[in-house]
Amino acid sequence: MAARPPPRSCDTFVALPPAAAGGRVVFGKNSDRPSDEVQEVLYVPAASHPAGARLECTYISVEQAERTYAVVLSRPSWLWGAEMGANEHGVCIGNEAVWGREEVCGAEALLGMDLVRLGLERADTAEKALNVIVDLLEKYGQGGNCMESHMAFTYHNSFLIADRKEAWVLETSGKHWAAEKVEGGVRNISNQLSITTKIDREHPEMKEYAKSKGWWDGEKEFDFAATYSYVNTARMTTSRSRYCEGYKLLNKHKGAITSETMMEILRDKESGINMEGGFMTTGSMVSVLPQDPNLPCIHFFTGTPDPARSVFKPFIFVPGITELLKTSSPTFGPDDPVKKQPRFQSKPDRRHELYKKHESAAVVMETMKGKGKEMLEEIQTLEKRKMSEMESILQNGCPDVNQLVNLFSQCVDEELKIYG
């Protein structure tokens, strides 16, 4: 049995009424990745595809859907999939690395991040996204290196999937899985299995497989996390793990959780949720999904590391959005070292314009007290202004949609101006 790697994962959160304020669902995620990895924010419009078309994911190709929805994604720029994102129907997904008793397959298959993007491109509700993911998991499996490096870093995946009405937690171990429906209150996932005895959907062979491995006796109540991992589920919410810290932070604000609350949680360093070091928070996302279908969903992305000194910039799906150029990394086509065999022999510079400017600004914030403090205050003021503009849209509906076409890009420009 391979030694379990140290927890290097992310945190994903959801708050539904009555825990979230104002009849809204609030979703948030920090993506914790190798500290030198660039995360880009990418918009992909809806599209139709010819019958029989194939789709190249990170390592393997799968059959393409006839129709794909518009998506906005935050993704490590070397791969096809995404750490987190949303689609035009208000579906949001984030994934986590999880380890357990089942060996992780090193063979190249679909990455958990590919499954996030596939779920968003193909489903208009949270539960349909779950169906998409488990069907693809059954057909193609999960596996392959999750890091742009010749050092292998592999894991199973868990997912938090939300829409305007409900959320689902989907946790996997190889091809086996369990899912829990969340209809109110708060829920978070981190780098451990967390579904215990409330299992609303499951892989048809999940229990039999556990029995055949001697993990479950078939007598006592079936607990997914206890059976498929080494977690003592009785202690899950009292230990000092990031899962537990996230659970506490959500519960502390229960009944009044807003997008700002979610951003505060993602910025929390003491809990380890805003991660520092060799693995750090390289991108963050918060989404507000009003239950009123006449109001737009608003998605905020940083596109830069460390949410404590980044701007959450708003994005709303409207017709006519153009490519998000300043948060898009350069592409290298067939010459990309990820595409060539053997993979990962070199690492190109994948930094996008916002990343480069933010990188220089972060040095200023760290080393030049006066100027750094001033810069941080300016980006905080910019974010506050955008938040209050978005609150007004959430209360009164959309103004002229033409003003929203460049909403995210304009905010990026304003942020770049601060960085000089």
Q: Which two tokens stand for residue 410?
A: 């304009």
Where along the chain do its domains lie?
Answer: 11-270+281-419
342 by Cβ neighbours in 10 Å (0-12 / 13-18 / 19+) ranks as exposed
Distance, CA of 31 to CA of 22 (rounded, Å): 27
CA angle 64, 70, 71 (to 5 degrees): 95
52 by Cβ neighbours in 10 Å (0-12 / 13-18 / 19+) ranks as exposed
pLDDT band for 235, please (50, 70, 90 cuts).
confident
Could you report the per-residue pLDDT of 63-112, keeping only the tens digit for each?
Answer: 999 999 999 999 999 999 999 999 999 999 999 999 999 999 889 999 99
Distance, CA of 290 to CA of 293 (rounded, Å): 7
83 SS3 class: coil
**DSSP state, residue 287:** E
Distance, CA of 83 to CA of 283 (rounded, Å): 9
Average pLDDT over residues 235-250: 87
- For 68: left if phi > 0, alpha if psi spans -120 to 50, otherwise beta; the answer is beta
370 SS3 class: helix
Q: In CATH, what is the architecture of 11-270+281-419? A: 4-Layer Sandwich (3.60)
List CB contacts of 95: < 8 A, sequence separation 6 or more: 10, 12, 83, 84, 112, 113, 115, 116, 157, 158, 159, 160
Q: What is the pTM of this model?
A: 0.96
Which residues are designated catalytic?
Answer: 10
Query: Where is pLDDT greater, at 341 or 1?
Result: 341
Average pLDDT over residues 395-406: 87
pLDDT band for 8, please (50, 70, 90 cuts).
low
pLDDT band for 402, please (50, 70, 90 cuts).
confident
At residue 4, does pLDDT exceed 70?
Answer: no
Peptide bond into 305 cis (omega under 30): no
What's the pLDDT score for residue 331? 96
Could you report the per-residue pLDDT of 306-320, keeping only the tens digit for each?
Answer: 999 999 999 999 999
- Decide if 76 contacts 117 (C-beta within 8 A): no
At residue 415, does pLDDT exceed 90?
Answer: yes
Distance, CA of 303 to CA of 77 (rounded, Å): 11
**DSSP state, residue 413:** H
Average pLDDT over residues 395-420: 92
